[in-house]
A and B are shown apart, each in its own frame.
Chain A
Amino acid sequence: MSILKIENLSKKFGGHNVINNLSLSVPENTIYGFLGQNGAGKTTTMKMILGLLKPSSGKISVCGEEVTYGETKTNRYIGFLPDVPEFYGYMKPKEYLALCGEITGLDRKAVKAKSEELLSLVGLEKANKRIGGFSRGMKQRLGIAQALLSEPKLLICDEPTSALDPIGRKEILDILLSVKGKTTVVFSTHILSDVERICDHVAVLNNGSLVLNGTLSQLKQNHRLDTLQIEFRSSEDLQRFAGNECVGMLFQNAECTDCTVILRSKNIDEAAGQIYDAIYKTKIYPVKVEILEPTLENLFLEVVK
């Protein structure tokens, strides 16, 4: 069952199309990475899911219930972490979480226990001062705590890591990874390594429409380039090797740079076989023979061109 479903969603600001006929569905218990450049429409999409913005057309449903603009009942399934979460600076974290609990209508005692648990999960159990004095990273953690308070089925995070230093980023990602299984996580980012680290499903948004969508391994499989990279000890080795008749055909459309060569072939296994035969015959041993995996970066650059 898909926990979030978006069908033919469009959003116009003035005459400008920000979201263009977007459709996607998020399966349960996944970490769904929502990639896109700055201004691709990630935040706009998220705000529409939360009923904060009115879609120009299209339908969004969360857990099978349709999202309505303004006041939406579907928000009770959702925990949301805005890109820069803002809190009441004059409150302490526990007071803030207690207020959140009251609003969600949770039991007071349960909230108390839950907020202690969450504050220690996000590493704020000792931060017993007013939120106004918090650093950016601390606010982001508190943001996660408040989003998880009602044990939502769907956790939506808008660029949770983009404003943080590498250590802060890793910690936030670890927290997100730790809630997997209990909660479906949708998070937007433009940092590719974050996606590779924790996501199992990726969607790439470009100019308001979806250009890539699938599981990470699936995407890599589909966009696998039949490319072989061989690195030699020296350029003479490379020249001698290229002269061998077994590989002459392969080297016709090769990119040679100094000691390395990149070969393309329709049948990568056959090409690899030929290369190993040639190595055996010529006794020229390369430093490295590698079948190139497509990186997410390559994929991303390819689709947002």
Chain B
Amino acid sequence: MDVLVEFLPFLIPLIIIEWILAITALIHVLRHPHYKFGNKSFWIVVVLFVQIIGPIVYFIFGRGEE
């Protein structure tokens, strides 16, 4: 429990960032159904379940041209 309290100032922002990333990416996946590879359901899973790395990979490699 002490450890948890000590790291709380990290965990809270971390979770916030995680969710901001995931939701931004999710909105983008849903609104722009063109990807360099993969399909919509694949990217939804990646973006929501691979925390932090998933959305970043999506924006760098998966996002199609507008």
Contact = CB atoms under 8 A, between A and B. Distances in A.
A contacts B directly (C-beta below 8 A): yes
Interface of A: 89-90, 130, 132-133
B3 to A, nearest CB: 44
- Top-6 shortest CB links A-B: A132-B66, A89-B66, A130-B66, A90-B66, A133-B66, A89-B65
Nearest to A130: B66
A196 B51 CA distance: 62
Contacts of A90: 66
Nearest to A88: B66
A89 B65 CA distance: 8
Interface string B27-64: 00000000000000000000000000000000000000
Nearest to B66: A132
Q: Classify the secondary structure of A's interface with B.
A: loop
7 contacts: A89-B65, A89-B66, A90-B66, A130-B66, A132-B65, A132-B66, A133-B66
Interface of B: 65-66
Nearest to A89: B66
Contacts of A130: 66
Contacts of B66: 89-90, 130, 132-133
A55 B45 CA distance: 55
B64 to A, nearest CB: 10
A74 B65 CA distance: 34
A25 to B, nearest CB: 42
Nearest to B64: A132
Nearest to B34: A132
Nearest to A131: B66
A133 B31 CA distance: 12
Nearest to A134: B66
A133 B34 CA distance: 11
A132 B65 CA distance: 8
A88 to B, nearest CB: 10
Contacts of A89: 65-66
Interface centre among A89, A90, A132 (most CB of B within 10 A): A132
Contacts of B65: 89, 132
Contacts of A133: 66
Contacts of A132: 65-66
A259 to B, nearest CB: 58
A89 B32 CA distance: 13
A130 to B, nearest CB: 6
A90 B65 CA distance: 10
A130 B65 CA distance: 12
A169 to B, nearest CB: 26
A112 to B, nearest CB: 25
